[in-house]
Structure 1
Amino acid sequence: MVDGMGGVFWWMALWGLLGLVLLVLAVVAIFWLVRSMIQPGRPGTDPAEEELRRRYALGEIGREEYLERMTDLRRPPP
C-alpha cells in the first residue's frame, strides 16, 4: 500500500513542476510582448538613423547637419 502512494507523489510532483515551467514561460512571454509594445522604435533600429549617428560620432558631419537630417528622417512621408 505504501508503494502505490509513492507513485502518486511522483506524478503530483511532475505535474507541479510542469505547471511551474509553463507559468515561468507565460510570464517571460508577457514581459517580452509588453516590452516590445512599449519600445517599438528604440534607438538604433533604423539603419538610416544608425548611419547618421555613426557619422556624427566620427565627426564627419556637424551638429546642425545631424539635427536637420534626423528631423528629415523622422518626418512622415508626404
Structure 2
Amino acid sequence: MDKPADAANWLEELGNPYERIGSDSEGRVGIEWGISGVPETFVIDANDIVVYRYVGPIVTPEAQDEIRAALAAAGGQS
C-alpha cells in the first residue's frame, strides 16, 4: 500500500489533476467498490453516485474520450 507521503510526492512531481482524492488505509472501500487493480477511475456525480468506472491507465485517446464523456454526463467539466 502506498504511504500518504509517497502519494503526495507523486502528485507534486507529476501534477495533480484531481478535484478530490480519497484514502482507503484499511482497504474496506476497495473491497466494497469491487476494485480489481490499479489504476481505476471513478466518475461520481453531484449526488455522490458512481456513474462511471474505468479500469486501467487513461493514456489512449479513446480512454480520454470515455472519461470526458462520463464527466460531461455527470455534470462535470470535460
**Fold similarity call, TM over 0.5:** no
Greater share of strand residues, 1 or 2? 2
TM-score (norm 1): 0.24
Greater share of helix residues, 1 or 2? 1
Q: Which has the larger radius of gyration?
A: 1
**Which protein has greater RCO, CA pairs closer than 8 Å, 6+ apart?**
2
